[in-house]
């Protein structure tokens, strides 16, 4: 019988959540300090931030696999590989990528059936929340405030599924945040009906939004349709954004639909 991975360290939350949802939380031996869900995972040793790792503590845990996310963690991966550890870095930016991440995890752990069950749950939720009508409010999603960065790929896709029209959908295809930087005047030109802010772990500050030049002319500002969505619900490329973030998007978009 092949030996599958049994002592796994997760450097970001989406793999932790996915493993727990597939009933393999006992295989997770270390997590990121930014881990929010599931709550029981927070009791595991915290061996990293998103950009720093505790190599000695990781070695002490004797992992047979370390999971990370994105090119941002490339240096962490290099450090760990040089230490003789096995590392797998996901780098997805789409909903399809999230589903494939789950399938890959299931393969690495020898639990393909559990992976497909989770994928089916996620696909079912996507279908349940898919808007079928014609009225699509214009939505501006802000991922960061200084510089202003608009939403990443899976966020844009979820906005469209929920029945909105992402006003910067053309930028959502850009995987790097620096390629999604925009000027305040560009938002004024797009004139969204709804503004959603999710400042990557930083608390939303209404005043910082309203003080921007020309933004008092935007329909969303005039109608006070600017809201925060907790970044842990939407900016984590795993099950949470589909199961928890999508319903929040749908509720907000429905509230401005005519």
Tell me whether residue 127 is in a domain: no
Domain termination residue (choose one: 94, 123, 157): 94
Query: Is the same domain home to 221 and 149?
Result: yes
The answer to whether 47 and 31 have CB atoms below 8 angstroms apart is yes
CATH number for the domain harbouring residue 162 = 3.40.50.1980
Mean pLDDT along residues 43-58: 91
**pTM exceeds 0.75:** yes
Has residue 104 been placed in a domain?
Answer: no
Same domain, 144 and 239: yes
On whether residue 131 sits in a domain, the answer given is no
Least reliable range by pLDDT among 30-34, 48-52, 177-181: 48-52
Residue-wise pLDDT for 120-132, tens only, equals 999 999 999 999 9
Q: Give the residue-averaged pLDDT of 245-249.
A: 98
Residue 71 is assigned to a structural domain of this protein: yes
For residues 55 and 142, state if they share a domain. Answer: no
74 in Cβ contact with 217 (< 8 Å): no
Q: Is the pLDDT of residue 119 over 90?
A: yes
Distance of alpha carbon 212 from alpha carbon 231, whole angstroms: 22
**Do 168 and 252 share a domain, yes or no?**
yes
| Total count of domains within the chain | 2
Residue numbers of the domain that contains 199: 138-256
Whether the predicted pLDDT of 1 surpasses 80: no
pLDDT, the chain, mean: 95
What is the per-residue pLDDT across 148-188, written as a single tens digit (0 to 9) for each?
Answer: 999 999 999 999 999 999 999 999 999 899 999 999 999 99
- What are the phi and psi torsion angles at 23 (to 5°)? 80, 25
Same domain, 237 and 167: yes
Q: Residue with structure tokens 């925060």?
A: 228
């Amino acid at each position: 019988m092949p030996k599958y991975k049994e002592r796994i360290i997760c450097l970001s939350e989406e793999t932790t959540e996915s493993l727990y949802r597939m009933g393999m939380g006992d295989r997770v031996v270390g997590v990121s300090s930014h881990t929010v869900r599931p709550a029981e995972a927070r009791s595991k040793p915290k061996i990293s931030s998103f950009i720093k790792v505790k190599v000695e503590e990781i070695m002490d845990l004797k992992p047979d696999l370390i999971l990370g996310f994105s090119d941002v963690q490339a240096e962490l991966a290099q450090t760990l590989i040089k230490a003789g550890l096995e590392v797998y870095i996901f780098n997805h930016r789409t909903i399809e990528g999230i589903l494939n991440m789950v399938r890959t995890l299931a393969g690495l752990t020898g639990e393909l059936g559990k992976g497909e069950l989770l994928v089916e749950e996620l696909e079912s939720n996507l279908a349940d929340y898919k808007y079928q009508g014609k009225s699509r409010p214009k939505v501006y999603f802000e991922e960061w405030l200084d510089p202003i960065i608009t939403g990443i790929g899976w966020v844009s896709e979820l906005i469209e599924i929920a029945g909105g029209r992402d006003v910067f959908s053309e930028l959502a295809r850009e995987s790097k945040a620096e390629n999604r930087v925009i000027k305040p005047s560009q938002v004024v030109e797009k004139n969204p009906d709804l503004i959603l802010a999710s400042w990557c772990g930083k608390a939303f500050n209404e005043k910082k939004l309203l003080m921007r030049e020309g933004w008092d002319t935007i329909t969303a500002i005039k109608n006070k349709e600017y809201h925060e969505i907790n970044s842990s619900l939407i900016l984590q490329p795993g099950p949470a954004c589909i199961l928890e973030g999508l319903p929040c998007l749908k509720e907000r978009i429905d509230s401005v639909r005519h």
